[in-house]
Structure 1
Amino acid sequence: MSVMRKMLNLPPKKPKGGEEKVAAEVNAAQGPASIAGEGNGAGARTPPALGWAEEVESSGRSAARKAGRVAIWLVIGLAAFTGVRTWVFPTKPPAPIEQQDPQAEARKNHVPEAEAQQVAARFARSYMTWNSQAPEIRAKEVEADLAKGIDPKLGWNGEGIQLVAQTIPGPVTQIGGKRARVRVDVRVSVITGSGKSQRTVSSWRGLEVPVAQGKERVVVTGQPALVGMPTAGSYKAPDEPEADAELSGATRDTVKQFLTSWAAGSEDQAAAPGADIEPLGGQIALDALDSWTVDVGSGDKRTGTATVRWKFGGAQLQQSYQITITKVSASSASRWQVEAVTAKAA
């Protein structure tokens, strides 16, 4: 009997067909004498045993067989339990790992930029405006945006007169801890001289305003500081496109008529159908169309450059425009009309 059949406690294996045949032939060869000998007692010869002989199993083999059987059933039971458990309690996917964003953490300590610019611009107007005849007005306006407990004079000696015409908030420099510096450009005017020689002089001043996020709102935390204004920068304009001399000459009167009507507020008469061109606003007139050139190209829509002199405010002012013209056809005739007007990009 195989070890596996014993471990699983299966019945003995039956002999195959060939084994039965061999046993029958042995019995036939022994003949009747063998059978008769069975009745003669001691003189009879015992026939040899055929088939499976019962074997006495040792205690060691019996214990190993039982242990193996237990191990097999444990494996089967564990597999079945694990499968059922996963059906009833499916394995939960691991929680996603949150990625830390250092910039997001730093932004938590930033001052809100829009509010900081608004506060700094209003404060700059109050701070840069003074009048020795009414110092209390400046103090009251400065205190509106200044942190409590700070002297509203902020270094002013109480003399002079200066007015602010405009303030333009600029970049906000975050310095951490809910603090920042705000750049503000301030247009100031001062009166110089006296009598007939008295005049008003205006200029731009750069100012950096320290701000911080308080409990309720953004406040100015101390004295601002004057800083320099930007200087002129260099720039190389691209080369001008080649001009279409023939089309420039053929459409010059059309463009001039449009500009004249545009200044008078009736540009619809000279503009192409469907064009959306807002009027200039009156009290302005075309003094001259100094130049008009159409860029080389093809098709029914072309672009050109116009140099124009306007008359308004008692002066002449020359400006350059980029004008788009389009060919409009009606019946058997066609003509060029203005479709769009914008400032020329240098």
Structure 2
Amino acid sequence: MSALRKMMNLPPKEPKGGDDENTAAVGVPADTPAPGKGKPSPALGWAEEEESSGRSAARKAGRVAIWLVIGLAAFTGVRTWIFPVEPPAPVEQKDPQAEARKSHVPEAEAQQVAARFARSYMTWNARDPDSRARELGMDLAKGVDPKLGWNGAGLQMVAQTIPGPVTQVGGKRARVRVDVRVSVVTGSGKQQRNVASWRGLEVPVAQGQGRVVVTGAPAIVGMPAAAAYKAPDGREPDSALSSQTRDIVRDFFSSWAQGSEDQAAAPGADIAPIGPGLRLDALDSWVVDAGGGDRRTGTATVRWKVAGGQVQQTYQVWLAKVSASSASRWQVEAVTAKTA
């Protein structure tokens, strides 16, 4: 009996052919008498044994497992026909930073409002107190006193305001840093003079109904201190080319100050005019960086005469080799500030 028929508890398979008398037993010679006739038949070479209880239990368990699998497969298939499985809804990926930005104040508008407000706030004149209050009222939230703590005395002017970083504090509120250049008059008579200085100001703002407004009095804060910086090592100089091109560079700066830089620059160079009021006093130093090719860079330190004084400045200069017929020469192609 096969293992599968045993697990399924099916009866033994009937032998093929006619009745038992005409059917030879498997493994028995054809001339062996049938059982019950003649001499007793000799014992067969194998005999069917009784099945043990363990094997019977395993067989039954296996049969149960098979029917369970078949039933589960049938149930699952029918259920999916009647109730098709819907794909899971897509999971929406949330960006925490994008969510936080929803409560931010628009930075560009906040800087614009804070810079205008800082100019009005840091300007006062005891002879015209109403002008200050009127200008402050343009950007203040409704209901805030436009005097903002000023006692109505003194004189101070503002020359410049520079808006800086916007610190978001949530809830459509922020603080805007503004640097203000103020000028005050000190002394009297012949001792009277104007003293200018920078002031740091933090302006509280919020997103109001349709625009950014200042929510209260700003606070004067400190200015940033100087920080240390180490410039990278410069390139080795090309002494021969520096000496060869020194007069070319000096003539260019002189022509630049006179407004005729096109005559001294390389063909195709696009160098904007430096403007009136400057005159070259001296080319203090000129060094070409080591390298090769028809385009080279160098560093020029010049002294300008301007507004009755002198100011020394350092430039980075690009040179290009220009050829005509059988001759060639170096000319200035571009000029920028020197990056340390």
Letter in 1 for 2:115: A
Moved more, 145-154 or 193-202: 193-202
Contact preservation (8 Å) 2:24, 2:30: no
| Secondary structure of 1:120 counterpart | helix
Offset, 1:197: 4.4
Amino acid at match of 1:236: K
| TM-score (norm. length: structure 2) | 0.76
Q: Does 1:190 align with 2:187?
A: no
Structure 1 residue aligned with 2:84: 89
Corresponding position of 2:50: none
Contact 2:115 2:178 (8 Å CA) reproduced? yes
The answer on 1:294 being equivalent to 2:288 is yes
Relative to the length of structure 1, the TM-score reads 0.75
SS of residue paired to 2:115: helix
- The amino acid of 1:128's aligned partner reads M
Question: Distance between the aligned counterparts of 1:148 and 1:12, measured in 2?
Answer: 102
Partner of 2:15: 14
Aligned match for 1:219, one of 188, 207, 213: 213
Other-structure match for 1:266: 260
Q: Does 1:333 align with 2:327?
A: yes
Q: Which amino acid aligns with 1:14?
A: P
Map 1:123-134 to 2 at 5 A: 123-134=117-128
Structure 2 counterpart of 1:150: 144
Structure 2: how far apart are the matches of 1:274 and 1:214? 53
CA distance in 2, matches of 1:321, 1:160: 44
Q: Which moved more, 1:69-78 or 1:206-215?
A: 69-78
Give structure 2 stretches of 5+ with no counterpart: 18-22, 39-61
Partner Cα separation in structure 2 for residue 298 and residue 211 of structure 1? 56
273-282 vs 333-342, greater mean Cα deviation: 273-282
Query: Which residue does the alignment assign to 2:135?
Result: 141
| Distance in 2, Cα, partners of 1:104 & 1:10 | 73
| 1:338 positional shift | 1.3
Contact 2:287/2:299 (<8 A) preserved = yes
Structure 1 residue 158, shift from structure 2 partner:
1.0
Q: Which residue of 1 aligns with 2:103?
A: 109
How many residues end up aligned between the 2 structures? 319
Describe the SS at the equivalent of 2:76. helix
* Distance (Å, rounded) in 1 between the aligned partners of 2:29 and 2:214: 117
Q: Distance in 2 between matches of 1:117 and 1:285?
A: 38
Residues 224-270 of structure 1: CA distance to partner in whole angstroms, max 9, x if unpaired?
A: 22122223333333444332221111111111222222223332332
Corresponding position: 1:275 with 2:296? no
SS at match of 1:162: strand
Distance (Å, rounded) in 2 between the aligned partners of 1:155 and 1:296: 62
Distance of 1:178 and 1:246 partners within structure 2: 63
Q: Which residue of 2 aligns with 1:310?
A: 304
CA distance in 2 between partners of 1:111 and 1:21 (Å): 99
Deviation at 1:137, TM superposition (A): 1.0
Kindly state the Cα deviation for residue 297 of structure 1 after the two structures are TM-superposed: 2.3
Amino acid at match of 2:219: A
